[in-house]
Structure 1
Amino acid sequence: MKLFQKILPLVIVSAAAWTKQQEQDCRFYSVLCAGIKGKNKMTDQSPPPASSGFDMNKATIISLLYIAGFIVGITGLVGVILAFVWKDEVAGTWEESHLQFHIMTFVIGLIGSVIGAILSIILIGIPLLIALAIWVLVRSILALLKAQKHEPIDDPKTWLF
């Protein structure tokens, strides 16, 4: 209970500071938008704000969930469920290959982890599980990079990268 009493004020102060920053950002962007429309000549000369460059599309979300699965655990399962749910929505787009790639990654990873867990009794499974974790991580990072470029996966059914 004492820990909660110490943390609660910090959370409230952080939330208040975040809210204040959001209000300032909204005021800045409204002035900027007014300037672009010609209402304020001072802001006509300033360039539009640079985007963060990080696109949160469906393929990116699933890649991030798979990567977070190494820390949280359950997010990999959430990622494959979302891949199955979104599969019909993205049919015919570049994201379709990503979702198929992620589903294959999960299925192969699940089968490999079961085999590795069984073989860990005789110590062969431990290196297999380490290699499998690296394999899933590399596939997820490569898919994330391609998703940011809006590029499809070349061969989503491959076992490699």
Structure 2
Amino acid sequence: MTDFNEQGQVVAADSLDGARAWCHIMYGLHAISAISGILTSATIVGAFVFGWPSIIAVIINYVTRDRVRGTWLDSHWRWQLRTFWFAAVWGLFAAVLAVTIIGLVIAIPALVITGVWVLYRVVRGWVNALEHRAMPLPLVGG
């Protein structure tokens, strides 16, 4: 797969080595947050969205994303951001529902499903990054 920069020029593969390293660091930080949600009394979603490792990963993502525009790594930057923000929205939705006792019936499964989804996306994204493969992204709003 040939990568291009914003000016349409071919980017050398070795110029992406630093970006690939950042990609693995961000996946590692997200994994630390998700695993801390499994191993502690926190939920996976709570630890993923509010844990320092994930927050640091999101900051790194926004700071470094211009370096990967137009490359296969761009899909990983967007994949990670979408995972974080969708988990935040579903976590907020579950928290609002949890305020009422009746809402707990929906909130608890929503948190569990979102937690499993977060784990899946972190693992799938990291495996694809290790294999130098782009992530599939939606055609609209990606």
| TM-score tier after normalising by the smaller chain length | 0.5 to 0.7
Give the SS at the match of 1:89.
helix
> Which one-letter code corresponds to 2:132 in the other structure?
H
| Equivalent of residue 28 in structure 2, options 60, 64, 69 | 64
Distance 1:104 1:129 in 2: 17
| Identical-residue share of aligned pairs (%) | 28
> Aligned ranges for residues 106-117 of structure 1 at < 5 Å?
106-117=84-95
Are the aligned partners of 1:109 and 1:136 in contact in 2 as well (CA < 8 Å)?
yes
Cα RMSD (Å): 1.8
How many residue pairs were aligned? 103
After superposition, what is the alpha-carbon deviation per residue over 1:59-117, rounded to whole angstroms, capped at 9, x for unaligned? 22211111111217221111111111110011122111100111111111111100011
**Higher RCO by CA contacts (8 Å cutoff, separation 6 or greater):** 2
Q: For residue 57 of structure 1, report the CA deviation from its aligned partner.
A: 2.0
1:154 Cα shift? 2.0
Distance 1:69 1:87 in 2: 21
Query: How far apart, CA to CA, are the structure 1 residues paired with 2:91 and 2:80?
Result: 16
Give the alignment's TM-score, normalised by structure 2. 0.66
Q: Secondary structure at the match of 2:66?
A: coil
**Structure 2: distance between partners of 1:83 and 1:157:** 21
Cα offset for 1:136? 0.7
Between the aligned partners of 1:110 and 1:130, the Cα distance in structure 2 is 13
What displacement does 1:58 show?
2.1
Q: Deviations over 1:32-69 (max 9, x none)?
A: xxxxxxxxxxxxxxxxxxxxxxxx62222211111111
Q: Is the 8 A contact 1:101 1:156 kept in 2?
A: no
Give the structure with higher Rg (CA): 1
Q: Which runs of 4+ in 1 moved over 3 A?
A: none
Whole-angstrom CA distance in 1 between matches of 2:80 and 2:138:
8
Q: How has the CA–CA distance of structure 1 residues 108 and 69 changed in structure 2, closer, same or farther, with 3 Å as cutoff?
A: same
**Which residue matches 2:136?**
154
Unpaired segments of 5 or more residues in structure 1? Answer: 1-55
Name the CA shift for 1:80/1:115 in 2 (closer, same or farther; >3 Å). same
Equivalent positions of 1:99-138 (< 5 A) are 99-121=77-99, 122-123=103-104, 124-138=106-120
